[in-house]
């Protein structure tokens, strides 16, 4: 993808590390499932395949969500915010989003 981004992708701003935060939301329940990061390649693969891909900051590698667990996330809709520096991805998940087995990574109450 690199420098030849087409509209509206040319409105998307990656941060200094080349990453873009992506909020993943269940299209049916509207539960927020996770926050993960896409680099340009992950965004390209997400658009091409219709399933979510991310950049794993801990493993420093491209990551197809569900590639080991089978819990892929089918993309229903992608939105970007007014600043173009965050994505909202509505998905149909094949299973739990969280590696703990919880449906959402946000299963802990802060207060």
CB count in 10 Å sphere of residue 37: 19
- Sole binder of a second copy in the list 34, 38, 40, 72 (CB under 8 A): 34
Site for a second copy contains 106 (CB under 8 A): yes
Coil, strand or helix at 91: strand
Six-digit token string for 94: 């094949």
CA distance 9 to 39: 13
Closest CA to 17 of 48, 42, 35, 39: 39
Q: Which element (helix H / strand E) includes 49?
A: helix 40-49
- Sole binder of a second copy in the list 32, 44, 64, 94 (CB under 8 A): 32
Site for a second copy contains 13 (CB under 8 A): no
Site for a second copy contains 52 (CB under 8 A): no
Which x/- pattern over 75-104 shows residues binding a second copy (rule: CB under 8 A)? --xxxxxxx--xxx---------xxx-x--
Minimum CB separation of residue 64 from a second copy in Å reads 19
Site for a second copy contains 66 (CB under 8 A): no
Coil, strand or helix at 56: strand
**Residues lying near a second copy in the complex (CB under 8 A):** 8-9, 11-12, 21, 23, 25, 30-32, 34-35, 47, 77-83, 86-88, 98-100, 102, 105-111
């Amino acid at each position: 993808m690199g420098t030849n981004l087409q509209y509206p992708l040319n409105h998307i701003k990656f941060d200094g590390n080349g990453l873009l935060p992506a909020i993943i939301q269940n299209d049916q329940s509207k539960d927020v499932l996770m926050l993960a990061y896409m680099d340009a390649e992950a965004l390209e693969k997400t658009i091409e395949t219709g399933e979510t891909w991310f950049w794993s900051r801990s493993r420093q590698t491209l990551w197809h969500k569900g590639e080991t667990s089978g819990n892929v996330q089918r993309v229903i809709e992608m939105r970007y915010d007014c600043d173009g520096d965050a994505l909202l991805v509505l998905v149909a998940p094949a299973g739990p989003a969280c590696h703990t087995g919880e449906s959402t990574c946000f299963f802990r109450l802060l207060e």
